[in-house]
């Protein structure tokens, strides 16, 4: 027997003896009934006592939660059964009837029944809805210790000290009580006489089987959740397993091991296990199939009395002499590892599976690890090595074991691995492509091993190390209870240490720069050199964490998914209804494994943390994006922004003027503040604004706020200090009007206005002062007149000797004219981004007009370039045959006799009949030969650029030994190919590039009317396609379409360019011009572009009074449909022309005939007349141009014999 390494205690309580336990089916609650008459309600997750119920007298033995209703029931030694509400926490009613201790009480899973077992030797069924006793089962002739309903069928099992277990059939009772249709007389009879046989001798409950086998009293009995099995525990220290059929029941086996009375037992709800507890102070776990002990757990002093299982999650509770413990049998964290886009994990069946994040699909099982460790112990960790496609799995069984297994390339199901290498270790982790480290706690030693499992190096771990983790390339992290140490394997030395206690898991960020250390309640983020970045504390257990690509840590607690930024800011993202283990975040999806090791995807809203991250990184564009695209407002984000010192950003979110005002002041945005103050218009806001504006030196705003506040004194002083004499004078006027002499005096002083001062003194009868002022300013006349008024003479007054009166200084610079240079507030880069954004949006809107979808092109296929290539191909096949032998030769070389071999480029030329491949191989001459044969190429100069481009892209330069030139390697498009006869070069600017980029650029020039550029772009497209390869038949078709389309555009654009080059003065020129503008409408352009051509032609014809032609163009435009504006014009012109559908100048253009345009002369080739075409582009020419270079492609010879361009060889792909 093995002691219990896996029993994980989640909660323990201290109390008197616990006799009954019940789990709440949904909430993390547990009810414990105690020998001391109390019932406790605990939250075992938080470890808190929620409530106590103390209405029973004496010990309470039976307790049960209702599976769905907010009820629980208890039964005690006071003979009473009490039903309680979990909502009001009150006893609802009491069921009386038992005549002795009640041992157990249980709810029925669907009927409103309670089952009780009592020392009065009866088992009773009660209806809790009408609070009545509906059945009493007699038969046991000693205390009934336990009675339970069958989880699905109408059966009851009971255990009694009479040494028997009885199985009762209660289908009669159900019949009687289930939805009475018509209450017959018999029914009524039966109802009124419970527990008596009806007239046919049927009773409500009959004994179906009596199971005898225990030779002492039986304490407990339990049904299996799905199988017809029963388990019982007795004072004979045995756990007995029974099986039953429809007609009989028999003993299957006995589990021996308890060395004292066995008090209770049950089946594991999900696994083939039996759990039992006894007075020998042990909890024992048995294998249901082998009836052998799997593990046991012993308490030192406390006898166990009862055990209960959570109905859904993997939790058990056992009651003992001093309380209750809640535990689980095994770790539920599924072992998993993430690499790039793949998750590797081990299921409950111990199958290795992978999960593709991109496609969201699970792989079939790849391996079965059934034999790893012991059967009931799940693997603890898995480490993945992408280079070798191997996994390293550890299991805690047998003091820690590991296995190194290669994953099969093509999984064929859950097969046992054949090449597994094993060893003893408590931890094992890959540290490099071909190395892994294992750690043994027992000898504190780390062995570095290679992939053949042989030790290459041994390291003594720092004392107290409990676990190791990957520490970045070539490094390990040693975890000990108080710190984490970074260790360089190669140099064998400690690089850094960080004091973080109780670290359990280490999670590296995707870029390997940061790592999160998870302990039970803390997350510490450190850099890869173990410098602490931030730390945070959670009151609830932290389960797992993973990094967002942007460097945000997402972690899960028991009931939340949260985030933490590097700076420690954190918050809740969403709640969880069950514990999950995060493995990956991608956009709005959080990938995780649940406790049954199933991958799940959680939807989250990453807006908040993205925003905060953008804020920290000052990535204003992204913030803007977020603000625009989501409803990110609310007090929390505003206060966050304010707190973090970004009031100017918070300002963007706020509508409320008061908050806006405050924020604007905080960030010094006076404009906004003024605006808001106007809106609010209350003195204290003006005051605040004034103070702030003054601090800014923004005196214009200050002036306004003083005006608003009617703060004349300050206003005057402001005018004085800004030198605004005019306004100061006005202030004086105002003071005069207001009759405020103090103010008037002040203003007068400010202005140096002596007269006004004297005048004022006189008005307030302060003649002495008036006189003094006048006198001292040398205004003798004025002084005398004052004296006169007062009736005094000069000699009566003694004046002190005064010096020259002070002159009021005049402002040197009239600062009032301009505001002081103000701090450029209010244009943070964020706001600039906002403004910029608006601008960009406008431009976009403008561009949108021309945006058109890439529709299926109706370009005519160049029929004459179709596959007439037998001759050519066979020629090349011959070449291949010859080469085969050389290749064989080449491969078979065994001797070391030296001598250079052929380069890969040579192979390319041999392997492919496509011109592009020859170009890439540098074999320009053969490439030209091919092109000449395929499309009659004769003038190669325009292709030079393309040739060199393809060639340039064909090889890379890998620096190798110092002093020697770099190794040249050849870039392949067949990346997965190693067979030298199949390797082929990569060709830059492939079909996809042309279709998605170049073609669009070409169209854009058409829209933008840059025809010269357009011609060169489309010509370039033709050249690029000419030296190219495609990967499928569809590709060939698409390439043909693009060639045809490019041809039409080049033709159209050249016609229009010729049209533009001509003047209108000469009659002949005008005629030609009219013709050309008509021909411009003939090439098969995209509809939108043809409309442009038609428009131009129509207008031109109309202006030169060729109404008939104009009319035909207008009609064609209307037939094409499209933009309303264009159609309007067409309609107008149509009506105009219909009045006089005559052409003024006769032109060579028949709107009703089908014809092609000669690409050289730009004249029509009507159907039936002879023509020659270009073998590459298919452009048509008058016969006299045969043998010249095609005007469209500029490379090929018109009318040359050609087998057709080859871009694709089926066998290559």
Is residue 870 close enough to count as binding other proteins by CB under 8 A? no
**Cβ nearer to other proteins, comparing 189 with 968:** 968
Q: d(Cα 648, Cα 728) in Å, to the nearest integer?
A: 37
Structure token digits, residue 1132: 């107008």
Taking CB under 8 A as the criterion, the residue among 473, 578, 1009, 1064 binding other proteins is 473
Q: How far is the CB of 360 from other proteins (least distance, A)?
A: 22
Apex CA 308: angle with CA 294 and CA 95, to 5°? 155
Write the interaction track for other proteins spanning residues 908-927; mark x where CB under 8 A is met and - where it is not. Answer: --------------x-xx--
Structure token digits, residue 612: 């905060």
Q: How far is the CB of 817 from other proteins (least distance, A)?
A: 51
**Cβ nearer to other proteins, comparing 940 with 1213:** 940
Which range, of 602-610, 810-818, 989-997, 1146-1154, touches other proteins by CB under 8 A?
A: 989-997
Q: How far is the CB of 962 from other proteins (least distance, A)?
A: 4
Is residue 986 close enough to count as binding other proteins by CB under 8 A? yes
Please name the helix (run of DSSP H) or strand (run of DSSP E) that holds residue 674, with its range, or none.
Answer: helix 670-680
Is residue 928 close enough to count as binding other proteins by CB under 8 A? yes
Strand order in the sheet with 435-440: 427-432, 435-440, 445-450, 455-460
Window 1182 to 1211, contacts with other proteins (CB under 8 A)? 1185-1189, 1197, 1200
**Cβ nearer to other proteins, comparing 300 with 925:** 925
Q: d(Cα 21, Cα 309) in Å, to the nearest integer?
A: 9
Which phi-psi region, left, alpha or beta, contains residue 716 (left: φ > 0; alpha: ψ -120 to 50)? alpha
Is residue 254 close enough to count as binding other proteins by CB under 8 A? no
Taking CB under 8 A as the criterion, the residue among 199, 812, 838, 964 binding other proteins is 964
Q: What value does the CA radius of gyration of the chain take, rounded to a whole number of Å? A: 48
In eight-state DSSP terms, residue 410 is S
Angle in degrees, 0-180, between the axes of helices 1087-1103 and 1067-1079, rounded to the nearest 10: 160
Window 679 to 718, contacts with other proteins (CB under 8 A)? none
Angle in degrees, 0-180, between the axes of helices 670-680 and 657-666, rounded to the nearest 10: 150
Q: How far is the CB of 563 from other proteins (least distance, A)?
A: 26
Structure token digits, residue 990: 């492939």
Contact 465, 426 (CB under 8 A): no
Instruction: Please tell me the count of residues contacting other proteins according to CB under 8 A.
Output: 77
**Cβ nearer to other proteins, comparing 901 with 1210:** 901
Contacts of 817 (CB under 8 A, 6+ apart): none
Longest dimension (CA), the chain: 149
Q: d(Cα 84, Cα 89) in Å, to the nearest integer?
A: 7
Is residue 963 close enough to count as binding other proteins by CB under 8 A? yes
**Cβ nearer to other proteins, comparing 752 with 942:** 942
Q: How far is the CB of 386 from other proteins (least distance, A)?
A: 7
Angle in degrees, 0-180, between the axes of helices 870-892 and 904-911, rounded to the nearest 10: 140
Is residue 876 close enough to count as binding other proteins by CB under 8 A? no
Contact 161, 170 (CB under 8 A): no
- The candidate with the shortest Cα–Cα distance to 31, out of 324, 329, 328, is 324
Q: How far is the CB of 887 from other proteins (least distance, A)?
A: 12
Is residue 988 close enough to count as binding other proteins by CB under 8 A? yes
Window 103 to 132, contacts with other proteins (CB under 8 A)? none
Taking CB under 8 A as the criterion, the residue among 333, 589, 617, 939 binding other proteins is 939
Window 442 to 461, contacts with other proteins (CB under 8 A)? 450, 456-457
Q: How far is the CB of 976 from other proteins (least distance, A)?
A: 5
State the distance between the two ends of the chain, measured CA to CA, in whole angstroms: 61
**Cβ nearer to other proteins, comparing 471 with 913:** 471
Taking CB under 8 A as the criterion, the residue among 140, 751, 777, 989 binding other proteins is 989
Contact 887, 980 (CB under 8 A): yes
Which range, of 317-325, 531-539, 898-906, 1010-1018, touches other proteins by CB under 8 A?
A: 898-906
Q: How far is the CB of 921 from other proteins (least distance, A)?
A: 11
Q: d(Cα 256, Cα 346) in Å, to the nearest integer?
A: 34
Structure token digits, residue 1039: 């390439």
- The candidate with the shortest Cα–Cα distance to 931, out of 866, 1047, 995, 1025, is 1025
Is residue 471 close enough to count as binding other proteins by CB under 8 A? no
**Cβ nearer to other proteins, comparing 600 with 939:** 939
Q: How far is the CB of 1165 from other proteins (least distance, A)?
A: 18
Window 1017 to 1056, contacts with other proteins (CB under 8 A)? none
Window 1120 to 1179, contacts with other proteins (CB under 8 A)? 1160
List C-alpha distances in Å: 1182 to 381, 862, 1075: 78, 17, 17
Structure token digits, residue 83: 């039903």
Q: How far is the CB of 876 from other proteins (least distance, A)?
A: 19
Structure token digits, residue 1112: 């035909």
Q: d(Cα 320, Cα 303) in Å, to the nearest integer?
A: 5
- The candidate with the shortest Cα–Cα distance to 348, out of 365, 363, 325, is 365
Contact 262, 238 (CB under 8 A): yes
**Cβ nearer to other proteins, comparing 347 with 911:** 911
Q: How far is the CB of 991 from other proteins (least distance, A)?
A: 12
Q: How far is the CB of 416 from other proteins (least distance, A)?
A: 25
Window 404 to 433, contacts with other proteins (CB under 8 A)? 432-433
Taking CB under 8 A as the criterion, the residue among 861, 960, 1008, 1087 binding other proteins is 960
**Buried-exposed string 526-560: b where 16+ CB fall within 10 A, e elsewhere:** bebebeebbebebeebbbbbbbbebbbbbbbbbbb
Taking CB under 8 A as the criterion, the residue among 891, 1008, 1061, 1087 binding other proteins is 891
Q: How far is the CB of 52 from other proteins (least distance, A)?
A: 59
Taking CB under 8 A as the criterion, the residue among 757, 955, 1089, 1116 binding other proteins is 955
Which range, of 232-240, 950-958, 1034-1042, 1150-1158, touches other proteins by CB under 8 A?
A: 950-958
Strand, coil or helix: what is 875?
helix
Taking CB under 8 A as the criterion, the residue among 201, 965, 1063, 1210 binding other proteins is 965
Is residue 896 close enough to count as binding other proteins by CB under 8 A? yes
Is residue 902 close enough to count as binding other proteins by CB under 8 A? yes
Q: How many residues does the chain have?
A: 1213
Tell the burial category of 200 from Cβ atoms under 10 Å away from its Cβ (0-12, 13-18, 19+): exposed
Q: d(Cα 389, Cα 380) in Å, to the nearest integer?
A: 19
Is residue 947 close enough to count as binding other proteins by CB under 8 A? yes
Q: How far is the CB of 499 from other proteins (least distance, A)?
A: 24
Which range, of 781-789, 980-988, 1062-1070, 1121-1129, touches other proteins by CB under 8 A?
A: 980-988
Q: d(Cα 105, Cα 97) in Å, to the nearest integer?
A: 14
Window 511 to 570, contacts with other proteins (CB under 8 A)? 512
Taking CB under 8 A as the criterion, the residue among 70, 180, 464, 474 binding other proteins is 474
Q: How far is the CB of 494 from other proteins (least distance, A)?
A: 15
Which range, of 91-99, 215-223, 469-477, 1149-1157, touches other proteins by CB under 8 A?
A: 469-477
Window 286 to 315, contacts with other proteins (CB under 8 A)? none
Q: d(Cα 844, Cα 1136) in Å, to the nearest integer?
A: 36
Contact 419, 405 (CB under 8 A): yes
**Cβ nearer to other proteins, comparing 233 with 1195:** 1195
Structure token digits, residue 315: 């939790």
Q: How far is the CB of 433 from other proteins (least distance, A)?
A: 5
């Amino acid at each position: 027997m093995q002691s219990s390494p896996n029993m994980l205690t989640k909660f323990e309580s201290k109390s008197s003896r616990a006799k009954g336990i019940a789990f709440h089916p949904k909430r993390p609650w547990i009810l414990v009934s105690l020998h001391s008459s109390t019932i406790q309600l605990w939250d075992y997750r938080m470890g808190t006592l929620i409530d106590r119920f103390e209405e029973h007298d004496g010990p309470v033995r039976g307790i049960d939660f209702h599976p769905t209703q907010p009820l629980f029931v208890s039964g005690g030694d006071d003979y009473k059964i009490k039903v309680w509400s979990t909502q009001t926490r009150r006893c609802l009613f009491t069921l009386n009837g038992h005549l002795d201790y009640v041992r157990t009480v249980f709810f029925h899973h669907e009927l409103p029944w309670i089952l009780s077992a009592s020392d009065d030797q009866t088992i009773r069924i009660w209806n809790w809805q009408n609070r009545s006793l509906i059945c009493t089962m007699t038969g046991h002739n000693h205390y009934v210790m336990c009675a339970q309903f069958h989880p699905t069928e109408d059966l009851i099992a009971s255990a009694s000290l009479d040494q028997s277990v009885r199985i009762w059939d209660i289908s009669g009772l159900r019949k009687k009580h289930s939805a009475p249709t018509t209450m017959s007389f018999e029914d009524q009879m039966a109802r009124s006489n419970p527990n008596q046989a009806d007239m046919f001798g049927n009773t409500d409950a009959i004994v179906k089987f009596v199971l005898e086998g225990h030779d002492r009293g039986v304490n407990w009995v339990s049904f299996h959740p799905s199988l017809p099995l029963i388990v019982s525990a007795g004072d004979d220290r045995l756990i007995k397993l029974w099986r039953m059929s429809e007609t009989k029941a028999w003993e299957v086996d006995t589990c021996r091991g308890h060395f004292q009375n066995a008090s209770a037992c049950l089946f594991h709800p999900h696994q083939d296990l039996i759990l039992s507890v006894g007075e020998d102070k042990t909890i024992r776990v048995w294998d249901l199939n082998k009836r052998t002990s799997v593990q046991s757990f012993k308490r030192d002093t406390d006898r166990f009395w009862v055990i209960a299982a959570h109905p859904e999650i993997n939790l058990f509770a056992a009651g003992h002499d001093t309380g209750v413990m809640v535990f689980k049998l095994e770790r539920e964290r599924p072992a998993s590892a993430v690499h790039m886009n793949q998750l590797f994990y081990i299921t409950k069946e111990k199958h290795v599976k992978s999960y593709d994040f991109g496609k969201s699909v699970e792989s079939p099982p790849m391996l079965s690890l059934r034999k790893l460790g012991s059967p009931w112990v799940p693997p603890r960790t898995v480490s993945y090595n992408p280079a070798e496609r191997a996994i390293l799995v550890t299991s805690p069984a047998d003091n820690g074991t590991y296995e190194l297994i290669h994953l099969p390339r093509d999984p064929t199901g859950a097969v046992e691995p054949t090449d597994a290498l094993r060893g003893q270790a408590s931890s094992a982790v890959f540290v490099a492509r071909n190395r892994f480290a294992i750690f043994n706690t027992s000898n504190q030693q780390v062995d570095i091993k290679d992939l053949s499992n042989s030790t290459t190096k041994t390291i003594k771990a720092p004392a107290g190390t409990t676990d190791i983790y990957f520490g970045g390339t070539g490094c390990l992290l040693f975890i000990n209870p108080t710190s984490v140490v970074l260790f360089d394997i190669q140099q064998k030395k400690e690089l850094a240490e960080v004091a973080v206690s109780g670290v359990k898991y280490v999670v590296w960020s995707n870029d390997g720069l940061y790592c999160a250390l998870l302990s039970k309640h803390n997350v510490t983020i450190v850099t890869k050199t173990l410098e602490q970045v931030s730390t945070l504390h959670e009151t609830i257990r932290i389960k797992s964490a993973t990094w967002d690509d942007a460097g945000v840590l997402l972690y899960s607690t028991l009931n939340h998914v949260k985030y933490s930024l590097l700076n420690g800011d954190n918050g809740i993202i969403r709640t969880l209804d069950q514990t999950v283990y995060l493995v990956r975040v991608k956009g709005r999806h959080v990938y995780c494994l649940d406790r049954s090791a199933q991958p799940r995807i959680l939807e989250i809203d990453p807006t908040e943390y993205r925003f905060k991250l953008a804020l920290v990184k000052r990535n204003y564009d992204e913030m803007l994006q977020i603000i625009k695209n989501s409803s990110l407002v609310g007090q929390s984000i505003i206060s966050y922004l304010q707190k973090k010192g970004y009031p100017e950003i918070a300002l963007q979110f706020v509508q409320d003027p008061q908050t806006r005002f405050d924020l604007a002041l905080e960030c010094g945005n006076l404009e906004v503040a003024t605006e808001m103050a106007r809106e609010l218009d209350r003195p204290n806001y003006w005051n605040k604004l004034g103070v702030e504006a003054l601090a800014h030196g923004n005196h214009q705003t200050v002036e306004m706020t003083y005006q608003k506040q009617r703060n004349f004194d300050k206003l005057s002083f402001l005018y004085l200090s800004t030198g605004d004499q005019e306004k100061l004078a006005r202030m004086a006027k105002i003071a005069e009007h207001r009759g405020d002499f103090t103010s008037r005096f002040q203003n007068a002083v400010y202005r140096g206005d002596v007269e006004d001062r004297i005048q004022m003194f006189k008005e307030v009868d302060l003649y002495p002062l008036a006189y003094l002022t006048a006198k001292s300013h040398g205004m003798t006349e004025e002084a005398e007149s004052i004296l006169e008024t007062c009736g005094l003479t000069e000699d009566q007054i003694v004046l002190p000797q005064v010096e020259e009166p002070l002159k009021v200084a005049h402002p040197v610079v009239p600062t009032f004219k301009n505001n002081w240079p103000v701090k450029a507030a209010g244009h943070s880069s964020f706001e600039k981004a906002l403004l910029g954004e608006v601008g960009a949006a406008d431009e976009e809107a403008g561009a949108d007009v021309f945006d058109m979808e890439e529709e299926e092109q109706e370009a005519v296929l160049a029929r004459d370039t179709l596959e007439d290539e037998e001759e050519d191909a066979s020629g090349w096949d011959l070449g291949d045959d010859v080469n085969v032998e050389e290749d064989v030769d080449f491969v078979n070389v065994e001797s070391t006799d030296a001598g250079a071999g052929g380069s890969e480029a040579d192979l390319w030329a041999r392997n492919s009949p496509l011109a592009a491949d020859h170009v890439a191989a540098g074999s320009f001459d053969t490439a030209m030969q091919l092109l000449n044969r395929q499309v009659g190429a004769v003038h190669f100069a325009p292709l030079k650029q393309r040739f060199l481009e393809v060639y340039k892209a064909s090889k890379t330069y890998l620096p190798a030994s110092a002093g020697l030139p770099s190794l040249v390697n050849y870039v392949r498009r067949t990346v997965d190919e190693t067979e030298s006869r199949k390797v082929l070069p990569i060709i830059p600017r492939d079909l996809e590039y042309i279709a998605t980029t170049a073609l669009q650029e070409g169209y854009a020039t058409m829209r933008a009317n840059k025809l010269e550029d357009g011609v060169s772009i489309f010509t370039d497209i033709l050249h690029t396609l000419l030296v190219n390869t495609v990967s499928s038949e569809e590709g060939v078709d698409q390439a043909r379409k693009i060639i045809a389309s490019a041809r039409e555009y080049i033709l159209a654009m050249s016609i229009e360019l010729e049209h533009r080059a001509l003047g209108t003065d000469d009659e002949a020129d005008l005629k030609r011009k009219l013709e050309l503008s008509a021909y411009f409408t003939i090439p098969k352009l995209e509809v939108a572009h043809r409309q442009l051509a038609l428009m131009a032609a129509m207008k031109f014809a109309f202006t030169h009074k060729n109404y008939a032609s104009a009319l035909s163009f207008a009609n064609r435009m209307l037939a094409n449909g499209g933009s309303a504006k264009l159609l309007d014009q067409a309609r107008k012109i149509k009506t105009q022309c219909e009045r006089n559908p005559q052409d003024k100048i006769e032109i060579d253009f028949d709107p009703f005939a089908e014809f092609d345009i000669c690409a050289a002369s730009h004249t029509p080739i009507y159907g039936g007349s002879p023509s020659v075409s270009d073998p590459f582009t298919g452009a048509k020419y008058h016969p006299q141009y045969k043998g010249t270079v095609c005007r469209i492609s500029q490379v090929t010879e018109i009318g040359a014999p050609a087998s057709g361009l080859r871009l694709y060889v089926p066998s290559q792909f």
